[in-house]
A and B are shown apart, each in its own frame.
Chain A
Amino acid sequence: MTGDASIADRRITVGILRYRPEQDEAPVVQSYEIPYVDDMSVLQALQYIKDHIDGTLSFRWSCRMAICGSCGMMINGKPQLACQTILRAGNQLPLRIEPLLHFPIERDLVVTVSDFVSKIESISPFIIPKYPRTLAEGEYLQTPTELTRFENFSDCINCMLCYAACPQFGENPDFLGPGALALLQRYNGDSRDGGQAERMKLVHTENGAWSCTAVGYCSEVCPKHVDPANAVNQNKTNSALDFFLRFLPGRGTIERSA
């Protein structure tokens, strides 16, 4: 597809929700007609528009191979990565592209990510050692089984599709959300980590695990099979058990990754 528009004798209409704060009161749909080949991705369609039709169109992208997490947007009503969505694959035409749901729009398809970044930072996203270790003690040893317990949660590329999918985040923007809670479980479930009690304090709150109603759509849209729904809901179990068992003497916070 790249560059050679003359090859394509088919054309499609792409409707994009535009928003330019300096001139628009509210977002408005703008349509573009572009040449079309079967194996075009939505990202390539956007790049064609920006390169040949309308240079003012703004959107985030980088790797174009579903690993950087930049190009998340609503494509025909579903949160998807633009680079990974191929036009041939059953998408209805005309194509309708909107910025990720539930986030404030900065411009066109670019949404505000600072709130999400704060949430990621708030869950202590680093190994908190169980006890002080010296370099002389050498590396941590971890079995494949121990790795399997949290590995999928570490695959998150911070694309925020799960937040666009989550209706409870849409209702309550203070909800920590699937991505942050998946990252939380990535650390709580890591055998090297000793910071479960600290992170569970966030889980126990109304904006922690308890805003989730197990819709499960977050895990469906995740391009990396992180399964954030599992991260959140297994922490409901942890949090609920801890709610009652915390009064037992000598009991720390329950973390059932083992």
Chain B
Amino acid sequence: MRRPYLRPIDRHWWAKPPYLAYTLREATGIAIAAYALVLMAGVICLALGRSAYDAWLGFIASPLSLALHVIFLVAMVFHVWTWFAIMPKTMPRLIVGGRYVEPQLITRAGIAVAALASLGLLLVARWVLP
């Protein structure tokens, strides 16, 4: 006789290895969104006027905000790392000169470009900002 038995899935699979690493990677999205909220608050305060914006600046200079932005920075760097690790999976196999390009090469190239881009932005900002 047949009586197939389907085991119920573990509701907490996302919190356990090997999936925990994936969940942590996705969690960087929270930091990116949170940083956007901080910037948005700044833009809204800017629209509301000088005193509102000065309040936002006060927050930005506070130890809480500095600690928060350190967390944002760590999350951003982790994002760069994991982003380019997964990026080759979204592309068809790259074949250059008849030979297959290893995904690790694409990942390393991506991280290098990102490092240059951020460095470039820092230098441009340094030069342009008063």
Which of A148, A171, A215 lies at the interface centre, i.e. has the most chain B CB atoms within 10 A of its CB?
Answer: A215
Question: Which of B19, B90, B92 touches A217 (beta carbons < 8 Å)?
Answer: B19
Chain A residue with the shortest CB-CB distance to B88: A230
The answer to whether A217 touches B18, judged by C-beta atoms less than 8 angstroms apart, is: yes
The answer to whether A167 touches B4, judged by C-beta atoms less than 8 angstroms apart, is: no
Question: How far apart are the CA atoms of A129 and B5 in the complex, in Å?
Answer: 42
Interface-forming stretch among B7-15, B66-74, B108-116, B121-129? B7-15
**Beyond A27-B7, A112-B4, is A144–B89 a contact (Cβ under 8 Å)?**
no
Interface size class of B (residues with CB under 8 A): 20 to 34
Distance from B42 Cβ to chain A, minimum over Cβ atoms (Å): 32
Question: Which of A104, A171, A215 touches B4 (beta carbons < 8 Å)?
Answer: A104
The answer to whether A214 touches B89, judged by C-beta atoms less than 8 angstroms apart, is: yes
- Residues of A within 8 Å of B3, CB to CB, are 21
The answer to whether B92 touches A256, judged by C-beta atoms less than 8 angstroms apart, is: yes
Chain A interface, number of residues (Cβ within 8 angstroms): 37
B86 at the interface (CB under 8 A from A): yes
Question: How far apart are the CA atoms of A8 and B49 in the complex, in Å?
Answer: 83
A56 at the interface (CB under 8 A from B): no
Chain A residue with the shortest CB-CB distance to B5: A105
Distance from A152 Cβ to chain B, minimum over Cβ atoms (Å): 8
Question: Which of B1, B7, B98, B100 touches A105 (beta carbons < 8 Å)?
Answer: B7
Question: How far apart are the CA atoms of A236 and B86 in the complex, in Å?
Answer: 13
Question: Which of B2, B6, B22, B91 touches A216 (beta carbons < 8 Å)?
Answer: B22
Distance from A61 Cβ to chain B, minimum over Cβ atoms (Å): 20
Distance from A76 Cβ to chain B, minimum over Cβ atoms (Å): 12
Question: How far apart are the CA atoms of A257 and B95 in the complex, in Å?
Answer: 11
The answer to whether B93 touches A149, judged by C-beta atoms less than 8 angstroms apart, is: yes
The answer to whether B89 touches A216, judged by C-beta atoms less than 8 angstroms apart, is: yes
The answer to whether A26 touches B5, judged by C-beta atoms less than 8 angstroms apart, is: yes
Question: How far apart are the CA atoms of A213 and B86 in the complex, in Å?
Answer: 11
Contact mask for chain A residues 104-118; partner B; CB cutoff 8 A; 1 contact, 0 none: 111000001000000
- Residues of A within 8 Å of B7, CB to CB, are 27, 101, 105
Chain A residue with the shortest CB-CB distance to B89: A233
- Residues of A within 8 Å of B98, CB to CB, are 144-145
Measuring CB to CB, which residues of chain A are less than 8 angstroms from any residue of chain B? 19, 21-22, 26-27, 101-106, 112, 144-145, 148-149, 152, 167, 170-171, 189, 213-217, 219-220, 227, 229-230, 233-234, 236-237, 256-257
What are 15 inter-chain pairs, A to B, with CB distance below 8 A? A21-B1, A21-B3, A27-B5, A27-B7, A106-B2, A145-B95, A148-B93, A149-B92, A214-B89, A217-B19, A219-B89, A220-B18, A234-B89, A234-B92, A257-B92
